[in-house]
Amino acid sequence: MEFMRITSAANPSIKLAKNLAQHSRAARKEGLSLAEGIHLARELLSHPELVRKVFLREGAEKNFEISEILQKYLSLKISVVQLPSQIYASISPVDTSAGIVCEIRIPEEGRIKKDEDWIYLDGVQDPGNVGTILRSALASGVTNIALSPQCAYVWSPKVLRAAMGAHFFCNIISSVELAEIKEKTGAVCLVADARGGKDLYEEK
CATH 3.30.1330.30 domain locations along the chain: 4-105
**199: pLDDT strictly greater than 90:** no
- Asked if the model's pLDDT at residue 80 lies above 80, the reply is yes
- How much is the pLDDT for 203? 64
50: left (phi over 0), alpha (psi -120 to 50) or beta: alpha
Rounded to whole angstroms, what are the CA distances from 97 to 90, 93, 103, 189? 11, 8, 15, 39
Cβ(17)–Cβ(91) under 8 Å? Answer: yes
Q: Residue 204 — pLDDT band, cuts 50, 70, 90?
A: low
Average pLDDT (38-58) is: 97
pTM above 0.85, yes or no: yes
Residues of the chain with CATH 3.40.1280.10: 119-202
What share of the chain in percent tops pLDDT 90?
A: 84
Instruction: Judge contact between 69 and 61, C-beta under 8 A.
Output: no
Neighbours of 112 (CB within 10 A): 17
pLDDT of residue 63: 97
Q: Which of 54, 49, 138 is nearest to 98 (CA)?
A: 54
pLDDT on residue 115: 87
Which of 48-57, 64-73, 83-92, 194-203 shows the lowest per-residue confidence on average (mean pLDDT)? 194-203
Fold annotation for 4-105: 60s Ribosomal Protein L30; Chain: A; (3.30.1330)
Buried b (16+ CB within 10 A) or exposed e, 80-102: bbbbbeebbebbbbeeebbbbbb
pLDDT of residue 201: 66
How far apart are the C-alpha atoms of 132 and 152, rounded to whole Å?
12
Q: What is the mean pLDDT of the chain?
A: 93
Amino acid at site 86 = Q
What CATH architecture does domain 119-202 belong to?
3-Layer(aba) Sandwich (3.40)
Instruction: With a cut of 60, say whether residue 188 has pLDDT above it.
Output: yes
pLDDT in tens, 120-145: 999 999 999 999 999 999 999 999 99
Q: What is the mean pLDDT of residues 74-81?
A: 96
| Contact yes or no for 128/158 (Cβ under 8 A) | yes
pLDDT score of 193 more than 80: no
Look at 115 and 26; give whichever has higher pLDDT: 26
